[in-house]
A and B are shown apart, each in its own frame.
Chain A
Amino acid sequence: DARVTQTPRDKVTEMGQEVTMRCQPILGHNTVFWYRQTMMQGLELLAYFRNRAPLDDSGMPKDRFSAEMPDATLATLKIQPSEPRDSAVYFCASGLGGPGGNEQFFGPGTRLTVL
Chain B
Amino acid sequence: AQRVTQPEKLLSVFKGAPVELKCNYSYSGSPELFWYVQYSRQRLQLLLRHISRESIKGFTADLNKGETSFHLKKPFAQEEDSAMYYCALSASGSNKFYFGSGTKLNVKP
**Distance in Å from the Cβ of A4 to the closest Cβ of chain B?**
8
Could you list which residues of chain A lie within 8 angstroms of chain B, going by C-beta atoms? 4, 31, 33, 35, 41-45, 48, 50, 55-56, 91, 93, 95, 97-104, 106-109
Does A107 lie within 8 Å of B96, measured CB to CB?
A: no
For A98, the chain B residues whose CB sits under 8 A away are: 95
Measured CB to CB, the nearest residue on chain B to A98 is B95
Q: Which of A43, A48, A56, A108 contacts B99 (CB 8 A)?
A: A43
Q: Which of B63-107 touch A at CB < 8 Å?
A: 86, 89-102
Could you list which residues of chain B lie within 8 angstroms of chain A, going by C-beta atoms? 32, 34, 36, 42-46, 49, 86, 89-102
For A43, the chain B residues whose CB sits under 8 A away are: 44, 86, 99, 101-102
Does B97 lie within 8 Å of A42, measured CB to CB?
A: no
Q: Which of B43, B90, B91, B93 contacts A91 (CB 8 A)?
A: B43
**Distance in Å from the Cβ of A113 to the closest Cβ of chain B?**
15
A42-B100 contact in complex given A100-B32, A108-B43, A109-B43, C-beta closer than 8 Å: yes
A33-B97 contact in complex given A43-B86, A101-B32, A101-B34, C-beta closer than 8 Å: yes
Of listed A4, A56, A91, A100, residue having the most chain B CB within 10 A: A100
**Distance in Å from the Cβ of B39 to the closest Cβ of chain A?**
12
Q: Which of B91, B94, B97, B100 contacts A104 (CB 8 A)?
A: B97
**Distance in Å from the Cβ of B60 to the closest Cβ of chain A?**
18
Taken together as a complex, chains A and B put the C-alpha atoms of A84 and B65 apart, in Å, by 41
Does B99 lie within 8 Å of A99, measured CB to CB?
A: no
Taken together as a complex, chains A and B put the C-alpha atoms of A109 and B44 apart, in Å, by 9
Q: Which of B44, B89, B91, B94 contacts A106 (CB 8 A)?
A: B44
**Distance in Å from the Cβ of B101 to the closest Cβ of chain A?**
4
Does A48 lie within 8 Å of B95, measured CB to CB?
A: yes
For B89, the chain A residues whose CB sits under 8 A away are: 101
Does B46 lie within 8 Å of A103, measured CB to CB?
A: yes
Q: Which of A31, A50, A101, A107 contacts B43 (CB 8 A)?
A: A107
Taken together as a complex, chains A and B put the C-alpha atoms of A43 and B87 apart, in Å, by 10
**Distance in Å from the Cβ of B93 to the closest Cβ of chain A?**
6
